[in-house]
Amino acid sequence: MRKAAFSVAIAFVAMLIGAGSAGAKAGHATRSAHGLGVLIPKHKGERLPTRGGTADSLNWSGYAVTPSASNVTAVSSTFTVPSAGLVPPGFAATWTGIGGYNTSDLIQAGTAEQSAPDNPVLGPQYYAWYELLPASETQLTGCTGDANCTVTPGDNVSVKISQVSGNTWSISMTDAGKWSWSKDVSYASSESSAEWILEAPTLVAQTTIAPVGTVHFGPTSTYTAGGTTHTIAQGDPTEIFLSPGVVNEATPSALASDGQSFNDCAYAQSCAAP
């Protein structure tokens, strides 16, 4: 995650995880230098479902769709930035992206929530970012309306990633009533999947997710394939559980009746739909 916010915590994470924790189970999936990465299956070498079903992961929780007839050329999401509690201390990222479910490429954008800050006096920290694996994440700056692109819990954030042409992609993000940002980037994407995710980043080992409570995705969670925009529900989605051990760290709810909204609950064995 952020160059200051996440890389600084390496020693802390080692203490936090411990030799016997889930971090020892982390696989060798592609990830950025600062923590965000592709889905890491709970069991190394596990074959992930591509049409419906469920998947257990060491770092992701949420939903993914993997169209078979055409490639993903756009994804969108709206979500409410959660508040990161202090116990247990940890890291979280809320995002949407293309690729990374069963491939090594991933273009993604969202917000970070961390309860293990560089300086404990400052308390939890929040910021917006985008990332093109295998490069590290880039924290947003220069937003219209707020040059610092300030993010606070309770903000309503919208993210859209769309193909302009070939390897040119547009990434845009809006924090409702506060700021907006957009950028065109060059990236060779597999266009293989779309996802809406609450993630526990990986540093020197797999981190513990921050206690963010219930994270709400929606009302807009769509993807475009074959020139047609679909809801998550229309994509025969796979439900992903953040499950590094016996107890889930994050559990997605069922999709709401609109086929686009869902909750993702940290440290809860069940999660009610919105």
DSSP string, 115-145: SS-SSGGG-SEEEEEEEETTSPPEE--SBBT
Q: Locate the domains of the chain by residue range.
A: 7-266
Residue 9 binned pLDDT confidence (cut-offs 50, 70, 90):
very low
Average pLDDT of the chain is: 87
Across the range 259-268, mean pLDDT stands at 97
**Which is more confident, 46 or 19?**
46
CB 223 within 8 A of CB 63: no
Nearest-CA neighbor of 90 among 149, 21, 159? Answer: 21
Domain 7-266 falls in which CATH fold?
A: Jelly Rolls (2.60.120)
The sign of the CA dihedral 224, 225, 230, 231 is negative
Q: For residues 82 and 154, what is the distance between their CA atoms, to the nearest angstrom?
A: 6
The predicted-structure confidence for 206-226, as pLDDT tens digits, reads as follows 889 999 999 999 999 999 999
pLDDT, position 13: 39
pLDDT, position 51: 87
CA atoms within 13 A on the CB side of 209: 34
The DSSP bridge partners found for residue 252 are 264
- Give yes or no for residue 26 having a pLDDT over 60: no
pTM of the model: 0.88
